[in-house]
Structure 1
Amino acid sequence: MFSKMINFYGLFVVFTINLVFSQRTPTISHITQKPIKDIGGTAELTCSVLYAMEYPVLWLKIDRGKVTEPVVLSTGSTLIIKDSRFSLRQDIDSTSYTLQIKDIQETDAGFYRCQVVLGLNNKISAEVELEVRLPPIISDNSTRSLVVNEGQPVKLECYAGGFPSPRISWRRENNAILPTGGSIYRGNILKIPAITKEDRGTYYCVAENGVGRGARRNIAVEVEFAPVISVPKPRLGQALQYDMDLECHIEAYPPPAIVWLNNGITLSNNQHYRISHFATADEFTDTTIRVITIEKRQYGDYICKATNVLGTAESVVNLYETIIPVCPPACGQQSSHQKSSSIAATSVNLTILISAYLYYVHLNF
């Protein structure tokens, strides 16, 4: 009789305990705090629940900002997604469900939801965000190249994605000084209030966040400006019947049209003049005019003139007469008249030498 009463009370206690637990509302007692992982790493997301033995527990992937439905990854102890990188582990004692993701990819970043389904319209859930470190990638809406007129305001923009958020800095080629001063400027936007031709060149946008080697974009800035002419030797002398080279150095962009003038007449290549242009870079041109076998009428001022869409510039080179030939370009050069005179002089000298020799022979015999 006593043993029967013990069995009865034992069953009553078990029944009461089950009744109490079955009446408790399921609760998510723990979920992993926000993990930050590198690409290729492994993440474990753990969700612990209480009083939910009779209810399905799900892991879902949430794409916030998108209209797509959440992707169900697992239910209870069963993994639904067919991806070898994912696995599920259930701990009966702690009633926890651990979702493991190996070889993490960029697309794995986002929100993961642990959800207990109590009914058709009755669910409890908790979320954890998985963040994946990503090297910087410079965005397409960043400046690629610019062509501007001198004096215009300029704005160079650079934006980059990645995690953590990249820091942006600006540099110039060969660490030249930036228009803002200094060799480095930090910020997404580099502003130049009024650009000059000295500001043209290559600018580097550098994005860094401590992941990988960072990213860099080269931005070519072309500045269009009116021609500027410099003359190495504004006055040059040369003797008659010799050649002389007159030079101008021109800086302009776009490249200019170049002409040489004398007494208001545009000169061209002929038996009296030879004109040459040498472009050392897009904006630098050296031009030379050779005055061939100078005649008296060719002395005077020669105008070097350069013109592009932004303006015109000109400089004067004066050619004057000298008695002694200037070398170069007259080194070893003789006119035909001088060559004839030299030959005649040589003939006379030879005649004198022969006569002297014959006289000497006559005296000795």
Structure 2
Amino acid sequence: MTLTCKTRPPPQNLDAKLQFLFYKDGRVLGLARDSLPEFRIPAVRKEDSGSYWCQAKITSIKVKFSHRVQIEVHRVPIGNVSLEIQPPGGHLMEGEKLVLVCLVTGGTGDIVFFWFRGARGLSLKTKTQRSLMATFEIPAVRESDSDQYYCAADNGYGPSLSELVSITVRIPVSHPVLTLRAPEAQLVVGHIVELHCEAERGSPPILYQFYHEDVALGNSSAPFGGGVSFNLSLTAEDSGNYYCEANNGQVAQRSEVVPLNITVPMEDRNEVLTSGAMELLLGILAPATLALLFCCWLKRKMG
């Protein structure tokens, strides 16, 4: 906004240098030494409303005053209000930082920003600033922070509300515990052993994976949390170390290793020994048989 003071010097003082002053509500605007016929207000505000006039000083004793002009500055109402979240998507792990950014598409003057939680509008924070954007942070979210959020902005024309934004906070899984459940203390071939894997903490769904000596046996999901089981019918080759992993979308956590020792019955051992002896015997006889057949073939050819 530019204020201009216009006057004509008297005929007898056409070459006189005029000095100008501008007033608002009785207060001098700018510096008296400027003495320019214009006064500029770069960006008017609501507070600039008031009564304005100017003064033209022709000589040290002759001063002219303009009529008073009443100026009313009206603020531009706030446009659309929106709530953005960082990180985007609305899905966070417990301990991450959540930033709620309240944005307005228009509006002038001081804007009061509000942040609310839930359908009942629990007030979280209020900020007043001369800006079209304001932020509110939750440094480390917890699972209990899962809810709907919205913001509002007001510059004197009444609050304008954003849409609801849903926030879901998940708990990373803890290290699971692997438990072996067997019908007897001494395990033998043929027994059914239940491998039970369970993480004490972690938001569902949780995917569990079972391993024997780093070889995957199978997996199972717990859609509502808790643990899962995997049944294993024991053979002589199932002795060794077992562990499980739990994963709910962030980092897989591994259990401690649990050893499993299987007692092989005597008859099974005899079968194993007999099988081994047969393999050894075949390994010895096969070359001798081939040599004998070769000798017979050679004798026939020469005879």
**TM class by smaller structure:** 0.3 to 0.5
Normalised by the size of structure 1, how large is the TM-score? 0.36
TM-score of the pair, normalised by structure 2: 0.41
